[in-house]
Amino acid sequence: MPANNMNVVIIDDDHEDLLRVQQCLHQILGEMKIPYKILTSDSFSGLSPQPHTFYVLDIDMPGQDGFKIAKEINDWQPSSAIVFCTNHMHLIHDAMRPNTLYFVNKSNLREQMTLAVKKYIANRGLAEDFQFQFMKHSFSIPWSDIICFNTSGNNLLITVTNTPEPYAVHKSMKSIRDDALKNHFISCTSSYMINMYHIKTIKDPYVYLSEGKKIKAGARAIRYVEEARLSFLLRL
């Protein structure tokens, strides 16, 4: 099974910079052996925000505001990542409003873009999708989109972002356990495995997850999850 493609969109009004950033990403992603698709543009007009996309935006484009574009992308596709790329450090102060993944200085493009890509992969994951059958249809969902797994009777419930109801499939927790652990999941209770990336906060006795989901756990389990999460956050 092929790993997920990394979708990249680069927007920069300066043609030279656009090519430089594109070339740099070709090299980085090629060396990291990550399959990718790159789309370049000198403006955002005509493009529509795409999910699970790595956007590289120039901030300082005459006639266009990189922050407004970022905000628009964030509003429509929160699963996308925004990387600002500019010539000068003094623009950092404005990189505050959108949910920025990284700030890359063009004078140190290669090194900082590598870090941005590494951070994107660490945060979002490019591992193979989790595949299952549901209502006689095949589903393939990125691990990073799965909030948690839990057992209910003989079913395994899969809670996924932007999906109102969990998918109920005939699988055991044991069958997915090893793969889940590799993808930053942790056992929270005997019947729950949660994605550490989707933990929002932990307030004894609850673990709060994305999209308002919360799981009650015992005091020992809470301490275990909190320790694992802190270790995960420090290394992320």
Partner 1 sequence: MTDHIINLIESFLIIIFLHASCLERPTKKTVILSAVFTVLSFLHISWVNTFSVYEDIGMKIVDIAILAVYMKLISGASWSRVLMITTIPLVLIASINICTASFFSWLFYGGLDYPRLAGEHYGLMIFLTKVLFLAVSQVTAILLRKKTDWLSSSDCITILVLLILFSMIITFFENLVFYQDFSADWIILVLTCINGSAILVVYLIHKLNATVRSGLRTQHNLEVLQAQLDSFQSFEAKQAQLNKWAHDMKHFYNALLNTEHNEIAEKMKTMYEEMQLPIILTKEPYGLVLNAKYREAKQAGIDYNCSIRADIRINMDRYDLCLLLSNLLDNAIYHIGSGKKILVEIDDIQDYSRIRITNSIDGPVLDENGSFIFSGDNHGHGYGVNTILTLTSNYNGRCLFEEADGNLISTVIIPSGRTV
Q: Which residues bind partner 1 (CB under 8 A)?
A: 60, 62, 87-97, 100, 102-105, 108, 111-112, 115-116, 199-201, 229-230, 233-236
Nearest of 220, 216, 164, 226 to residue 192 by alpha carbon: 216
Which amino acid, one-letter code, is at 54?
F
Name which of 14 and 128 has its Cβ closer to partner 1.
14
What's the per-residue H, E or C state across 96-163?
CCCCEEEEEEHHHHHHHHHHHHHHHHHHHCCCCCEEEEECCEEEEECHHHEEEEEEECCEEEEEECCC
Name which of 177 and 213 has its Cβ closer to partner 1.
213
Least separation, in Å, of the C-beta of 105 and partner 1? 6
Dihedral sign (CA 109, 112, 114, 116):
negative
Least separation, in Å, of the C-beta of 143 and partner 1? 18
Least separation, in Å, of the C-beta of 13 and partner 1? 8
Residue 80 to residue 48: CA distance in whole angstroms: 12
Least separation, in Å, of the C-beta of 188 and partner 1? 15
Name which of 54 and 102 has its Cβ closer to partner 1.
102
| Residue for token pair 């006639």 | 63
Name which of 199 and 221 has its Cβ closer to partner 1.
199
Least separation, in Å, of the C-beta of 62 and partner 1? 5
Name which of 93 and 136 has its Cβ closer to partner 1.
93
Furthest CA-CA distance within the chain: 59
